């Protein structure tokens, strides 16, 4: 009992340390977007620059996209399927791609783009230069803050994106009476826009140029000062405090319907503005946010570098990676971004989460389902944020609807299919180009997220509700797989290995995903006591799918043919899906395949774009080589734009992941990879500190989740496990492993179990 008490006192102390350290902090305003600080409530997002003379708050509403409801399926495309397959089997790849380009791609071939909404600009008239400047993002409270001293007064701004009240609030204060003087206005990059002002409020209307999307934003001020019109829009004079309330909505109802007038929701927001004080909004915001964020804590060694501003910490980490607590901050930042960009009832996080300042964003800021969309959700279950997974489940349901049409039109198959990209209109057909767009496993991969949620929660009711989606993905491949004329194996064709090698027959990645899909469908059917015949059929087919192969260079083959180029440094390493996030390759159970996967990683090299570095961190963690994984963490947390650094990926000053440009997937994937060093649960047991690198010799985690319905707190020192507490949420048997030690014990739901570093029950 004494050790148990000491453990939790230690965790409490760690929590206090972490709360103090959970801040991105800077001593200068942001000069560009990747230095600005993000806030979000799942639907509304904003980037805070923190200027003194001019403050820019660039904002987004998640449903403002180009285009409109559209069926991307190419009617009758399946009539060319057999001919494409025959060309590929005959080695005529170019002809197959040409035929597919002409007859098999989506209509149109390019998807639509996520849009910025507008900018709120504030203008201040300080006489003297600012002193004691500070700009920060408080992750523990989800508040962006700016403070400085000018003209004899101390000024402070707080910005929050409230989920309960669905607005962004900016609170400005001065510690001297009548010292707060500023003006403000709304604007937008959209050419089709109008701005109207009425005393204490402005209305911004925008229309997206190429479609049916419309948006309306309203900004209102409440202050103890004097409100008057100004050149910029509205001015506030002689105030001590003022609050700006910002709301934005579109006419989006769902991917098939744009009939909702945005003005109806703006009117509702206006009533809320007039009724609520900033203090009331902030109180509800904190209560809502803490309920999610406070479930998980991580603390690692603090050093002198931990005291630096965040941009200086990133630079110092590049020079000498002696700042373990930066990794803890990175993990918590990913959790913050998940809460800010993916809440129940919203769209899932896209390539940039919810933040975008360009009319033509990179890769249209869509959902890329050959890795990037899935990577956004790797850490949510593990870090105790299962609610943040829900928007992805909604996307899966909607893509299953459009994907059923594509399955029939393009493949004459049952079930549903999703290719490598989708947008807000839930495109499911192959897009962009035939040499990389005809990748058929997006729906199969996404279905695993439904299964993973079940594994972590053991929620049978959830599994019963979502099982038809998993089954539908499996039914497609039951019809789609064909026998390879050379080997007799069942293979996936036409497809590709994202995004390399062109259109092929039989990419390894597809086969790994489909084997796993058939396995989880069969297991789910058994749990739910349904579809016994289908389960048997899928299990039989699974054994006939082309297996993983080891090539002449000792590598895991990426294709059916042994044609891997050892000199290839492509950012995708798709054929290692079975290592992570899959589980059919592991040092513990398939050592020869794990060795071949390691050789493939060695050939690809450690360099890469930000999300590629993040995936490689997870690969090396699963290979139980924590020191190599830490080398990649070093690259990921190094500055992306520093002169003399040639690595493509890295981190911007605001800790956003650099592809480059910004893609949020590396933030999420990197956080997942860091945690895989400390806990793994994919093989049927919970492995404690399986790949702990020498650089992280001391630390603790509280609230980390494992498959089987378990939540754990663990601490370690000098590289050795000190203690672990296991909370059983579902009452399942628990197996823990640490090094060569192992223990299995029965549990009761809602009960805690504490063990020492030798896995002895306390």
Q: Which of 43-47, 123-127, 236-240, 388-392 has the lowest mean pLDDT?
A: 123-127
Backbone angles phi, psi at 261, to 5 degrees: -70, 125
Instruction: Report the distance separating Cα 451 and Cα 474, nearest Å.
Output: 13
Asked whether the beta carbons of 85 and 332 are under 8 A apart, the reply is: no
Torsion angle of C-alpha atoms 248, 253, 259, 264, degrees rounded to 10: -40
Collapsed DSSP state (helix, strand, coil) of residue 79: helix
Instruction: Report the distance separating Cα 352 and Cα 237, nearest Å.
Output: 38
Sheet of strand 710-717, all strands in order from the earlier edge strand to the far edge: 297-300, 699-706, 710-717, 720-728, 751-756
Instruction: Report the distance separating Cα 196 and Cα 201, nearest Å.
Output: 9
pLDDT at 42: 98
Q: What percent of the chain has pLDDT over 70?
A: 97
Q: Kindly state the DSSP code that residue 556 receives in the 8-state scheme.
A: B
pLDDT at 263: 86
pLDDT at 647: 58
pLDDT at 20: 52
Contacts of 244 (CB under 8 A, 6+ apart): 120, 122, 169, 170, 172, 184, 219, 220, 221
Task: Choose which CATH entry (3.30.70.150, 2.60.40.1180, 2.70.98.50, 3.50.50.60) describes domain 30-65+113-294.
Answer: 2.70.98.50
Write out pLDDT tens, residues 272-284.
788 899 999 999 9
Instruction: Report the distance separating Cα 150 and Cα 607, nearest Å.
Output: 45
pLDDT at 646: 54
Instruction: Report the distance separating Cα 329 and Cα 136, nearest Å.
Output: 13
Question: In the predicted model, is pLDDT for residue 6 greater than 70?
Answer: no
Contacts of 5 (CB under 8 A, 6+ apart): none
Alpha carbon 319 to its chain centroid, in Å, reads 28
Backbone angles phi, psi at 755, to 5 degrees: -130, 150
Look at the chain and count its residues.
762
Prediction pTM value: 0.96
Asked whether the beta carbons of 642 and 315 are under 8 A apart, the reply is: yes
Helix H, strand E, coil C: the string for 125-191 is CCCCCCEEEEEEEECCCCEEEEEEEECCEEEEEEEEEECCCCEEEEEEEECCCCCEEEEEEEECCCC
Question: In the predicted model, is pLDDT for residue 267 greater than 90?
Answer: no
Q: Look up residue 91 and give its two tokens.
A: 């080695």
Question: In the predicted model, is pLDDT for residue 128 greater than 50?
Answer: yes
More confident residue, 61 or 107: 61
- Mean pLDDT across the chain: 95
Write out pLDDT tens, residues 641-700.
876 665 578 999 999 999 999 999 999 999 999 999 999 999 999 999 999 999 999 999
Q: Which CATH superfamily is domain 295-340+610-761 in?
A: Golgi alpha-mannosidase II (2.60.40.1180)
Within 13 Å, how many C-alpha atoms sit on residue 147's CB side? Answer: 14
Please state whether 50 falls in left (phi above 0), alpha (psi between -120 and 50) or beta.
Answer: left
Write out pLDDT tens, residues 219-231.
999 999 999 999 8
Average pLDDT for 314-326? 94
Backbone angles phi, psi at 59, to 5 degrees: -130, 155
Q: Look up residue 762 and give its two tokens.
A: 């306390």
Question: In the predicted model, is pLDDT for residue 9 greater than 60?
Answer: no
pLDDT at 232: 86
Instruction: Report the distance separating Cα 734 and Cα 737, nearest Å.
Output: 10
pLDDT at 648: 72
Could you tell me the residue ranges of all domains in the chain? 30-65+113-294, 295-340+610-761
Write out pLDDT tens, residues 492-510.
999 999 999 999 999 999 9
pLDDT at 7: 45
Instruction: Report the distance separating Cα 15 and Cα 296, nearest Å.
Output: 9
DSSP 713-728: EEEEETTEEEEEEEEE
pLDDT at 211: 78
More confident residue, 513 or 607: 513
- Where do runs of H (alpha helix) occur along 548-676? 591-604, 610-622, 626-636, 665-676
């Amino acid at each position: 009992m004494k050790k148990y008490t000491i453990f939790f006192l230690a965790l409490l102390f760690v929590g206090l340390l972490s709360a103090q350290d959970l801040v991105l902090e800077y001593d200068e305003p942001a000069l560009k977007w990747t230095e600005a600080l993000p806030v979000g409530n799942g639907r509304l997002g904003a980037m805070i620059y923190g200027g003194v003379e001019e403050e820019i708050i660039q904002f987004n509403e998640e449903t403002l996209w180009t285009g409109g409801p559209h069926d991307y399926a190419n009617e009758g495309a399946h009539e060319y399927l057999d001919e494409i397959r025959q060309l590929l089997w005959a080695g005529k790849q170019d002809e197959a791609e040409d035929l597919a380009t002409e007859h098999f791609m989506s209509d149109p071939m390019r998807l639509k783009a996520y849009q910025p909404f507008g900018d709120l600009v504030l203008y201040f008239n300080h006489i003297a230069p600012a002193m004691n400047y500070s700009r920060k993002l408080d992750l523990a409270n989800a508040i962006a803050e700016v403070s400085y001293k000018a003209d004899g007064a101390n000024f402070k701004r707080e910005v929050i994106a409230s989920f309960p009240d669905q607005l962004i609030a900016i609170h400005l204060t001065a510690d001297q009476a009548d010292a707060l003087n500023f003006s403000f206005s709304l604007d937008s990059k959209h050419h089709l826009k109008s701005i109207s002002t009425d005393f204490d409020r402005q209305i911004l209307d925008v229309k997206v140029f190429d479609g049916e999307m419309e948006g309306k934003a309203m900004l209102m001020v409440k202050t103890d000062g004097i409100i008057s019109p100004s050149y910029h829009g509205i001015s506030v004079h002689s105030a001590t405090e003022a609050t700006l309330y910002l709301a934005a909505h579109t006419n989006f109802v769902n991917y098939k319907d744009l009939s909702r007038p945005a003005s109806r929701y703006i009117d509702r927001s206006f009533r809320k503005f007039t009724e609520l004080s900033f203090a009331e909004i902030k109180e509800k915001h904190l209560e809502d946010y803490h309920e999610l964020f406070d479930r998980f804590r991580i603390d690692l060694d603090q050093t002198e570098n931990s005291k630096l501003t965040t941009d200086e910490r990133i630079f110092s980490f590049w020079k000498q990676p002696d700042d373990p607590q930066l990794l803890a901050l990175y993990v918590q930042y990913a959790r913050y971004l998940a809460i800010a960009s993916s809440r129940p009832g919203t769209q899932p996080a896209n390539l940039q989460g919810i933040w975008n300042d360009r009319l033509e964003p990179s890769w249209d800021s869509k959902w890329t389902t050959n890795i990037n969309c899935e990577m956004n959700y790797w850490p949510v279950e593990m870090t105790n944020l299962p609610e943040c997974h829900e928007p992805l489940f909604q996307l899966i349901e909607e893509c299953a609807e459009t994907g059923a049409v594509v399955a029939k039109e393009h493949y004459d198959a049952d079930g549903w299919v999703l290719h490598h990209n989708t947008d807000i209109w839930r495109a499911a057909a192959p897009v962009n180009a035939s040499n990389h767009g005809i990748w058929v496993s997006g729906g199969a991969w996404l279905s695993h997220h439904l299964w993973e949620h079940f594994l972590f929660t053991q929620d049978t009711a959830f599994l019963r509700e979502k099982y038809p989606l998993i089954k539908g993905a499996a039914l497609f491949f039951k019809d789609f797989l064909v026998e390879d004329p050379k080997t007799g194996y069942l293979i996936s064709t036409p497809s590709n290995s994202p995004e390399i090698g062109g259109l092929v027959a039989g990419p390894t990645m597809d086969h790994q995903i489909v084997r796993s899909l058939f396995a989880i469908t069969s297991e789910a059917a058994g749990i739910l006591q349904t579809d016994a015949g289908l389960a048997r059929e899928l299990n039989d087919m699974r054994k006939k799918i082309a297996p993983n192969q080891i090539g002449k260079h000792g590598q895991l083959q990426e294709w059916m043919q042994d044609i891997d180029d050892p000199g290839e440094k492509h950012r995708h390493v798709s054929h290692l899906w079975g290592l992570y996030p899959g589980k059919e390759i592991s040092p513990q159970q398939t050592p020869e395949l794990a060795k071949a996967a390691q050789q493939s990683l060695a050939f690809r090299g450690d360099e890469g774009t930000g999300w590629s570095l993040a995936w490689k961190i997870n690969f090396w963690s699963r290979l139980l080589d924590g020191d190599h994984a830490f080398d990649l963490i070093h690259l990921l947390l190094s500055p992306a734009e520093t002169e003399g650094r040639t690595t493509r990926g890295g981190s911007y000053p605001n800790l956003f992941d650099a592809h480059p440009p910004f893609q949020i997937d590396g933030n999420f994937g990197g956080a997942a990879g860091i945690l895989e060093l400390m806990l793994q649960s994919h093989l049927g047991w919970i492995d404690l500190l399986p790949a702990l690198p020498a650089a992280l010799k001391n630390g603790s985690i509280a609230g980390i989740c494992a498959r089987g319905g378990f939540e754990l707190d663990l601490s370690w020192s000098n590289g050795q496990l000190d203690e672990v507490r296991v909370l059983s949420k579902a009452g399942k048997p628990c197996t823990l492993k640490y090094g060569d030690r192992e223990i299995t014990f029965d549990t009761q739901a809602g009960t805690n179990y504490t063990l020492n570093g030798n896995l002895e029950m306390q």
